[in-house]
Amino acid sequence: MKLTVKDKDFLEKLKSLLEAKELKINLKEDGLKRFVLRQNYGDKIEKCFGMTRQGVRWRFQRLFNDIYPSAYEVVYYLETHFGTELRSMALEIAKERVALRKKASQRGFFEVCRRKTSEKKPVGGSV
Give the tens place of pLDDT for each residue, 41-86: 677 788 889 888 889 999 999 999 999 999 999 999 999 999 999 9
What is the domain partition of the chain in residue ranges?
Answer: 5-110
**Which of 30, 28, 31 lies closest to 61, judged by CA?**
28
Q: What is the pLDDT of residue 43?
A: 74
C-alpha span between 115 and 122 (Å, rounded): 13
C-alpha span between 15 and 9 (Å, rounded): 10
C-alpha span between 24 and 38 (Å, rounded): 5
Q: What is the pLDDT of residue 2?
A: 81
Q: What is the pLDDT of residue 108?
A: 76
| pTM reported for the whole predicted model | 0.73
Q: Name the residue with higher pLDDT: 115 or 28.
A: 28
Q: Is the pLDDT of residue 13 over 70?
A: yes
C-alpha span between 107 and 100 (Å, rounded): 11
On average, the pLDDT of the chain sits at: 85
